[in-house]
Amino acid sequence: MEDVYRKEFGGERFKATFLVLIVERGVNSLAGLAGVLLFGGSGVKVPVSEILGSGVTQMFAMVGP
């Protein structure tokens, strides 16, 4: 994906990083949801708030300089 930022396309550089990250996370979430619906949950209790915090901080870390 780094090549997208180095090259110019039609005289402009790619600047929609945050949008791409949101779309990527959305697609990953939908794929996970489809897996749970098709195969059922694992039965493991997951600390949702901690995983959510980790995911959000990772996403903002990727957006930063």
Question: What 3-state DSSP class applies to 39?
Answer: helix
Q: Indicate the pLDDT class of residue 65, thresholds 50, 70 and 90.
A: low
Determine the pLDDT at residue 42.
Answer: 85
Q: Who contacts 21 (Cβ-Cβ below 8 Å, separation ≥6)?
A: 59, 62, 63
| Backbone phi, psi, residue 54, to 5° | -65, -45
Q: Does residue 2 have a pLDDT over 70? A: no
So where are the chain's domains? 2-63
22: left (phi over 0), alpha (psi -120 to 50) or beta: alpha
| pLDDT per residue as tens digits for the range 29-58 | 999 999 999 999 888 888 989 989 998 898
pTM: 0.59
What is the DSSP-derived secondary structure letter of residue 28? Answer: H
Mean pLDDT on 14-29: 84
